[in-house]
Structure 1
């Protein structure tokens, strides 16, 4: 079972997300254990302040090192493994499916969510193992980013989605965007499902899905090909797709 600790000043924000749908079922089935910690309780002053003015001046407040150092140390003492400590931060590496797959192999993760102008640099240098950004934009705190990362990891844990292949064909899991999906009716107001999907020929269906994944990736995210090794057959199909679009 994976253990996930979240250090936050707003633990109630996680109630709705972790208490519903797949994330809730994952905990009920003992695939993951969530522990949401208000790190204000670790502050070493009577007012439980966790922030202070930045040295050198400037706008905003900075998260003090002491509460985070002590909270992480306490959680590490209770751990049976060496947990990864993840800081949600716009300066971190851009989050990807590959990173989600990497983190899903860990036994214990600790997420640190800040809410001020920044973190005391000593937190980054001496506590954190990973810094993650979910995109090139700024949020009011790390909580929403942590929720996104947690959701993407938990769904990869064994047994959570029921069928292993449920996530293996997701967008980005193969390196490509996912192919289109259809369901009944086969003819909806004159808009028909591609014939190949109702043919029963699984070889042709798999080929169609791969071609459509290539097509969608070429149209929407061609940059993804920079990080992929395509097979000879995939390269051939991709060239055909490019020619089709040039002709139209």
Structure 2
């Protein structure tokens, strides 16, 4: 019986390269499995280190150092333009388009440029452990989008802190991720935050994923993404 299991395991192992090269659906799920698997594994490894300075946004630099390596494994290349705007040591609200969970991988690749940066995320992500716990210990801001008043209170408190500590706050104003190539309506919260504390808004644009990613057809090929940081927009009266 054990010999049969070993032969079956060997057969499946030998089939992996064939399936990867010939079946785009298998390749799609396999790449995302690698992506999520490595991020989850790194979360487990890094949680003890994060506990030494809990909820400190600098922990995200450690996470990015480990997790950005996924890029090469799944065949993506990221190019950053306008680095000088992103590297400036100042508090700002970063607003970026949201196409896929791959956006997070792009952020991991530029976190060393942003330095002190955190992200506004929906509360449901906190319960996706171990990633959710590691993200909370790394200083991510989780908001309850259903309870609007509670979300506003959380963001107001965060707003004062990021200005005082010169932290960049990354927001996806479209809310739900959409890989359609079109711009969708913005939620107003990020802009209210920037105006209230007179913090500049920093637009960041990810080039379209449509050339290599199709979630409906389950396609994820090799691709190149350009991340463009535009000049900051002042909100001072």
Q: TM-score, normalised by structure 1?
A: 0.25
TM-score, L = length of structure 2: 0.26
**Structure showing greater relative contact order (alpha-carbon pairs closer than 8 Å, 6 or more residues apart):** 2
Task: Please say which structure displays the higher CA radius of gyration.
Answer: 1
